[in-house]
Chain A
Amino acid sequence: MIILVAIKRVVDYNVRVRPTTDQSGVEISNAKMSMNPFDEIAVEEAIRLKEAGIASEVVVASFGVKQCQETIRTALAMGADRGVHVETEVELQPLAVAKLLKTIVDKEKPGMVILGKQAIDDDANQTGQMLASLLNWGQGTFACNVKVDSDKVIVSREIDGGTQTLSLKLPAVITTDLRLNEPRYAKLPDIMKAKKKPLETLTPEDLDIDVSPRLKILKVSEPPKREAGVMVADVTELLDKLRNEAKVI
């Protein structure tokens, strides 16, 4: 079975972002870019399934600007087999990515698609679910454990207050949560080998998908600064405020 992994190039999680002075977007010029950490977990999971003899090939796909190819190379260095890059300058939103992914699924016929549960830039948490919907496949979102059992995959999911386990008919879509695995580090020789692995480049036009954004970003601003509140004299006053003013206990 082929496993398809979708990966996104995002501002590295260590980089502090801020709105541009004109508030039209986020200031990221020359900021370090990395693979979305949840997607890294997705790549790792796919490679482990290949190492376990369950997957035959791991294909990674990324969508967006030319530099996404660097992100694909990172996944190839981790151990993925080949890459697909759909190149566009358009700011892609989850629905467009899900549609693009669907065309790749139609072509590659994977037994499973693994994605990060969300990207750490737009925090949308949508693409995997949308793809499953478009394909009419089962979805195992926020996965913390994945086990393939012949024509099914057993997925444990992180839900509010605990975990839930589902059994999905294959093919299925899985989105990863943080506890699923600890991604490996790429080795130097593998980084060299990754440069020679196949990487196909397409455009949304090749795939006949309209990727124009559905959401317009009108403004980007800093979160409102919290104002310092009041000092209370003692525990009695504090509890009174929490109970009767803030109403949180």
Chain B
Amino acid sequence: MEYDVVIVGAGPAGLSTAIRLRQLAIENNLELTVCVLEKGSEVGAHILSGAVFEPRALNELIPDWQEKDAPLNTAVGQDEVYFFTKPDKAYKIPDLFVPKPMHNKGNYIVSLGNVCRWLAEQAEELGVDVFPGFPAADIIIDDDNIVRGVITGDMGVSKEGNEKDNYEAGMELVGKYTIFAEGCRGHLGKRLFEKYELNKESDPQHYGLGIKELWDISADKHKPGLVIHGTGWPLNETGTNGGFFLYHLENNQVSVGLITDLNYSNPFINPYEEFQRFKHHPLIKQYLSGGRRVSYGARAISKGGYYSLPKMVMPGAIMVGCDAGTLNFAKIKGSHTAMKSGMLAAETIVDAFAKGDEGGQLLTDYVEKFNNSWLHEELYSSRNFGSAIHKWGPYIGGGFNYLDQNWFGGKLPVTLRDQSKDHQLIKNKDDCDKINYPKPDGEISFDLLSSVFLSSTNHEEDQPCHLTLKDNNVPISTNLKYYDAPEQRYCPAGVYEVIVGEKGEEQLQINAQNCLHCKTCDIKDPSQNINWKTPEGGGGPNYPNM
């Protein structure tokens, strides 16, 4: 099938691109067909974010979003930032000293999944074809190295790779332009990075793993609009960076999460267990106790920021949002920037079409539009935020950020670059202490599999494993030997297990059905031996309000 623009991924970036394209087409009376492919079973099924949402991009995209019932229901009220010094102690950072980008006045606490569901409705009303359940499995690149579209995944292939009775071959979706908006560590994006050397001139991307739960809490503890952020314990016990959030949404619900930076070095770190014990901090526990956990999920985030931003244009394609890495780490927000990056892509493409462009061009105009936008300004002013913390830790790095952001508006003439790659920073197991995590109590903290259960994740059982290994020996001969197989711990879904076979030999068991599509294994595997591919369409989590 042919479209003028084929968009991969129905997240904030992809849907904003689609909406803006159709809006401009209608305004300018242009024929312009747009489709959006989404690997989740429905729009929103794979979306997971905190989320405090800054409406700046949405105000531009759909100014009357309020009349159109956008699910931005809870305005941020109180905004608190803490440093957890000990398992039972917290230091509240006075408002004055909180770096400015972390202030949330005018923002909304949302379920980003629900925002995306709403955006998809808006897109469809404008004539966009949205295809959930159809992953883009491959890229069509012609002999001139021009991106011509994507191929959807085959359906009905057995574990052994044979065609089953209900086999349907993937379809070519040819576009004059293709937009890659897969989110953090997109599997096609990863290939484009290599093919077009997109990050040749930028720093490596840096990542965090966000794990989140949604809780029903008792009404008397619920403070709609309260936003709590912080850092410190328990991650600081292992010198790991990261931060936490707890947001009071509507309907007596809170969303609570911990982001563990994936540049951690101790292979025994288990982000899931860190999150579970974090919830026992009295400041968090006070809200959760007596409540009921209703959902669980995890997703990696690209947090490298400005210096990690790759080249976003290729012949025939633009990469937008977290696929490229447009998240503003100082604000810990990526939705508004992702949306804006997509809207700029739409404007670039419509301009090109208006000039008679037939597609397949390298849209360098996008770079100019990007550089002249508030998006660039925002990312530039936060450019040192993440590196400062990576370099100096949360105390001094945090202090630098306070000065840089609050006193100099991000204009301190300093350039902090971070050339390290997250997966290379993991240390040999013999150089690190094992970590004994407390047992879950079944009220505040839970075992892993009962958590995965709440994500409603599933994959058709009889299909090829979508978590592929470049070398089948590496998990044992390298990862287990030197790093005690860290995939057993960093995977927040229990996908990877080292088991002992019949003859006492160790082997890696991959429970691909559990996968939450967070991409952490693709990122953190010390040998870069795990390659995440799209499973059969519709597989993966089914998040309702995440």
A residues contacting B by CB (< 8 A) are: 12, 14-16, 18, 21, 27-32, 34, 182-185, 187-189, 191-192
Contact = CB atoms under 8 A, between A and B. Distances in A.
Contact of B41 (A12, A29, A183, A189): A12
A27 B292 CA distance: 13
Nearest to B537: A185
Interface residues of B, number: 34
B294 A27 contact: yes
B126 interface: no
B140 interface: no
A184 B156 CA distance: 9
A187 B168 contact: yes
Interface in B273-325: 292, 294
A183 B166 contact: yes
Contacts of A12: 41, 456, 542
9 contacts: A14-B458, A30-B111, A32-B41, A182-B164, A182-B166, A185-B168, A187-B171, A188-B131, A188-B171
Q: Which of A28, A184, A188, A191 has the most CB of B within 10 A?
A: A188
A184 B168 CA distance: 8
A183 B171 CA distance: 19
A30 B544 contact: yes
Contact of A32 (B42, B292, B454): B42
Interface in B125-145: 129, 131, 134
A188 B1 contact: yes
B70 interface: no
Nearest to A184: B166
A14 B542 contact: yes
B328 interface: no
Contacts of B394: none
B149 to A, nearest CB: 13
B542 A15 contact: yes
A38 to B, nearest CB: 16
Given A16-B453, A191-B131, 19 more contacts: A12-B41, A12-B456, A14-B457, A14-B458, A15-B456, A15-B544, A18-B294, A21-B252, A30-B44, A32-B42, A34-B41, A182-B164, A184-B168, A185-B156, A185-B537, A188-B131, A188-B171, A189-B171, A192-B129
Contact of B155 (A31, A185, A191): A185
Contacts of A21: 216, 252, 292
Nearest to B71: A30
Q: Which of A12, A182, A189, A191 has the most CB of B within 10 A?
A: A12
Interface in B242-299: 252, 292, 294
Given A15-B456, A16-B453, A191-B131, A31 B168 contact: no
B245 to A, nearest CB: 21
A189 to B, nearest CB: 6
A14 B453 CA distance: 10
A124 to B, nearest CB: 23
Nearest to B37: A188
B388 interface: no
A29 B168 CA distance: 32
Contacts of B164: 182
B545 interface: yes
Given A29-B544, A32-B45, A188 B456 contact: no
Q: Which of A29, A32, A34, A192 has the most CB of B within 10 A?
A: A32
A28 to B, nearest CB: 8
Contacts of B457: 14
Interface in B82-106: none
Given A16-B454, A188-B152, A29 B545 contact: yes
A30 B166 contact: no
Contacts of A31: 542, 544
Nearest to A189: B1
B429 interface: no
A29 B458 CA distance: 20
B453 A30 contact: no
B69 interface: no
